[in-house]
Amino acid sequence: MIEQHISTYREEAGELLAELETSLLELEECPEDADLIGRVFRAMHTIKGSGAMFGFDEIAAFTHEVETVFDLVRNGKLAVTKQLLNLTLRARDTIKALLDSSLSGEEVDRVEAEAIISGLKQLIPPVESESPPHAEQTFFDPVETGSRQQTWRIRFKPHPEIFLCGGNPSALLAELRELGTSHVVAHMDAIPLLGDLNPEHCHIYWDIILTTTRGIDAIKDVFIFVEDDCELRIDLVDDGGQIDVSEGYKKLGDILVERGDLSPAEMQKILGLQKRFGELAVAAGAVTPDKVQSALVEQRHVKNIRQERVAQESGSSVRVPAEKLDLLVNLVGEMVTVQAHLTQTAAQLKLPMVVSIAEEVERLTNELRDTALNIRMLPIGTTFTKFKRLVRDLSQELGKEIEMETEGAETELDKTVIEKLNDPLVHLIRNSIDHGIEMPDTRLAAGKPAQGTVRLAAVHSGDSVLLTIRDDGAGLDREAIRSKAVERGLMAANADLTDREIYNMIFAPGFSTAAKVTSVSGRGVGMDVVKKAIESLRGTIDIASVRGEGSTITLRIPLTLAIIECLLVRIGRDFFLMPLSIVEECVELSREDVRNSHGRNLANVRGAIVPYVPLRAHFGIVDNRPEIEQIVITRINGNKIGFVVDSVVGEHQTVIKSLGRMYRDVKGISGATILGDGTVALILDMGLLLRAAAQERGKE
Amino acid sequence: MAKVIMTADDSASVRQMVSFTLKQNGYDVVEAVDGQDALTKLSSQKVDMLITDLNMPNMDGLGLIRGVRAGTLNKFIPIIMLTTESQDAKKGEGKAAGATGWIVKPFKPEQLIAVVRKVLG
């Protein structure tokens, strides 16, 4: 658009320069012609003024010098001489050259320009040196003066003829109101009787009590056009600092005196009478009811503001080092373990009194645990801003127009989880930008707006948080992924897979369908890393996509890493824990059932066939196999899988203790915990366990 | 209904830019090429606001402002004058003639809109 204005300016300047030339030549004939002088001045003025607006700064600066001289001529302070006309004509040629060079890029003769300017300056009588240009007014970008809330008292008494200048007091008041919390009181005591009233004049004036963080400059800017003609007083009545709570705000009389509505002597006199001050002051005729009303409003306003602040300050946050919180959470973890021990012991002792104490301790411990974990929660929004920047930078680099929307920034997650989520999220957003959103012209051709949208949303769902990254780009290419997967041997060429299963192929290591590798993504390193990172947080990742409409990636992340709800099971004499979130149900498995399935490890659960993994065999536990075993049926990656154990003990609050480095390579174990009686139970990583079992089976 | 704003300027490029910016922000625009043209148009057409240059042939901005304030139809409309930084004295003259406010040239479209919103309320 701006190009259009610029070319209009070029044409216009060209015309003006032609006109300037004619006028100057005519002026040579009749040097006294005021009309001609005016025309020359205006031509210069327009070239300068418009030039500055459309980026021709050099032209503007140069023309300014010539204009200054002609302003003097116009005001009769300088005569038109041959020398002046010569210089001006040369100046005209230089402006033309400047204008042309902006198009052709040709160099302009700066020496000539300098010579003209110094020549013109010699013509100016020395007294007429210019007053320094006015400092830029900071009218348009009111700067926040920190977050400090200050309360101001503003008395605004417009000039009676404000309407005749097109002013609108109510618009000004509305503008003030936008700055913060305000109370406005109108004073009507200056309104004359009907007979004397000029309806075109403004007789009302206002007191405004305004609480704002924007500072006095923002307030002054509101009145920028009227401040010279109106009565305007702006006083700071509360600077937002520390408050001595016992003191309260100023007395009504003091406010009136401070405002100059009442003299101190009058106040003393009235105070001597000792009744309610406001009534007394009015009754004594010293002030009008409006003024008292206004002062009362100020009193109330500031009181409220201060009360709020005290409440905020006392309830405000305390900064604590993260290690202290970690220590607290660890202690709570130990506490939960001891509590479990207590509950178990109480149950064994069968003493009603001890049982009831144990129950009480259990309730308190649970609350303590929730509170302690809650302290480590942070709103995820802090990372969102970082992603906005990422989207902005990347889309510029790739030449795409992309807008980032976020939702649920206030959703809270454990601090460590948020930190670990950062890299996977960056990767997923990069993918959306690079592979998802198309180039603007491609989008327009597909009937979509040129600007693409990446939407990052967070929402609570039970004991986890759902994070979705949605783009309105091209979506995944089902066939491309399929053929790539077949090529890489990830699936059989004739396998009949659901869309979801195919889309999930992109999480395989080294998988990429991108035709070319960009600096952003496409090397096929990544999605598997993302998946691993999410799984290490005990989360899940899922992808949905519609070709041509975009893709949605959903991450389900548990709220915390420290404590999880588990199902405690026993095999032989060992205890194991399975995360309760994936457990669906438990069914019995008798020896007979096993015999009936002819060694295929399939169970019939209400008519549905469910494959199972006999953990006893997997862990190599041989002793005392019970007659009836239990299958814990879980849902992993959308599939029902059973795990056979000896017996199910029950639910267990599990404080996760990481295993030492020695055990890092043990597949299928994610940690350990200490049970109530002091024995150690291993926490199973069901996903990895399943994969290991499947591999074993494959070998056989 | 969209508010109507008149732009009076002898510079076609400024007029175009002002007009374009205003239209983009949902205002209707009437253009005038100088003070005389503007005053003639304003005598028969009601507008909500006037943005005028100060230096124009035939009738300058000050004359135009006085003329509008002396009329009836558009007597109370806000009038914004476009001045350059060297014309500080002009600001005072403009105010005395009845201008509501001013914009210092050069200005950006956002600044123009900020002032329009400010005086139109």
Q: What is the per-residue pLDDT across B25-76, written as a single tens digit (0 to 9) for each? A: 889 999 999 999 999 999 889 999 999 998 888 888 889 999 998 888 888 8
Interface with chain B: mutation pick from A3, A46, A130, highest number of B CBs within 10 Å: A46
Q: Do B105 and A163 touch (CB under 8 A)?
A: no
Tell me which of A360-369, A690-699, B69-78 is least confident: A690-699
- Rounded to an integer, what distance in angstroms lies between the CA atom of residue A656 and that of residue A683? 8
Confidence check: pLDDT of A87 > 60: yes
CB A27 within 8 A of CB A37: yes
Average confidence (pLDDT) over A210-229: 82
Residues of A in contact with B81 (CB under 8 A): none
Give the separation between CA B57 and CA A535, rounded to whole angstroms. 76
Smallest Cα distance from A225 to chain B, Å: 5
Beta-ladder partners of A81: none
Instruction: Work out the pLDDT band at B86, boundaries 50, 70, 90.
Output: low
Global confidence as pTM: 0.45
pLDDT tens readout for residues A103-150: 777 777 778 888 888 888 887 766 544 444 444 443 444 444 455 778
Task: Please give the pLDDT value at position A699.
Answer: 65
Distance from CA of A163 to the nearest CA of B (A): 6
How many inter-chain contacts (A to B, CB under 8 Å) are there? 103
pLDDT at B8: 92
Helical (H) or strand (E) element with A192: none
Confidence of residue A522 (pLDDT cuts 50, 70, 90): very low
Out of A209-218, A221-230, A440-449, A514-523, pick the least confident. A514-523
Q: Could you identify the residue written with the tokens 């709800």?
A: A565
**3-class SS string, chain B:** CCCEEEEECCCHHHHHHHHHHHHHCCCEEEEECCHHHHHHHHHHCCCCEEEEECCCCCCCHHHHHHHHHHCCCCCCCCEEEEEECCCHHHHHHHHHHCCCEEEEECCCHHHHHHHHHHHHC
Parent domain of B108: 4-120
Phi/psi at B27 (nearest 5 deg)? -100, 155
CB–CB contact A5 B76 (8 Å): no
pLDDT at A550 over 70: yes
Q: For A282-313, what is each residue's pLDDT tens digit? A: 777 777 778 888 888 888 888 887 777 766 65
Report residue A354 as tokens. 């001890």
Here the tokens at position A419 are 């930190």
Q: With contacts defined as CB-CB under 8 Å, which chain A residues touch B10?
A: 42, 46
- Contact of A686 with A578, CB cutoff 8 Å: yes
The total domain count for chain B is 1
- Of all residues in chain A, the percent with pLDDT exceeding 90 is 3
Q: What is the mean pLDDT of residues A683-687?
A: 83
d(CA A116, CA A94): 9
Sign, Cα dihedral of A428, A429, A435, A437: positive
Average the pLDDT over A395-417 and give the result. 83
Q: A467-517, pLDDT tens digit by residue?
A: 898 888 888 888 888 888 888 777 777 777 778 778 888 887 777 655 444
The dihedral of CA A329, A330, A332, A336: what is its sign?
Answer: positive
| ipTM score | 0.81
Token duo for residue A503: 């889309």
| Distance between A74 CA and the closest CA of chain B, angstroms | 12
Chain B residues bordering chain A (beta-carbon distance below 8 Å): 10-14, 16-17, 20, 49, 53, 55-57, 69, 75-79, 82, 84-86, 88, 95, 98-102, 104-107, 110-111, 114, 118-121
| A672: phi then psi, degrees, rounded to nearest 5 | -145, 165
Indicate if the pLDDT at residue B7 is higher than 90.
yes
Positions of E strands within A257-308: none
Cβ–Cβ of B20/A53 closer than 8 Å? no
Q: Which of A334, A336, A422 is nearest to A378 (CA)?
A: A422
Query: According to the model, what pLDDT value does residue A602 have?
Result: 86
Mean pLDDT of chain A: 80
Q: What is the CATH number of the domain that holds B107?
A: 3.40.50.2300
CB contact under 8 A, B100 and A60: no
Q: Residue A311 burial by CB count (10 A; 0-12/13-18/19+): exposed, middle or buried? A: exposed
A247 Cβ contact list (under 8 Å, min separation 6): none
Q: Which residue out of A170, A225, A230 would a mutagenesis test of the B interface target, given it has the greatest number of B Cβ atoms within 10 Å?
A: A225
| Residues on chain A touching B114 (C-beta within 8 angstroms) | 140
* Token code pair at residue A333: 């973890």
Contact flag A166-B12 (C-beta cutoff 8 Å): no
Average pLDDT over residues A565-590: 88
Query: How far is Cα of residue A101 from the mean position of the Cα atoms in its chain?
Result: 45
Q: Are A630 and A645 in contact (CB under 8 A)?
A: yes
Q: Are A442 and A462 contacting, i.e. CB atoms less than 8 angstroms apart? A: no
Give A546's pLDDT tier (boundaries 50, 70, 90): confident
**Can you give the pLDDT at residue B87?**
65
**Best residue in A2, A45, A178 to probe B by mutation, most B CBs within 10 Å?**
A45
Residue contact A5–B10, C-beta within 8 A: no
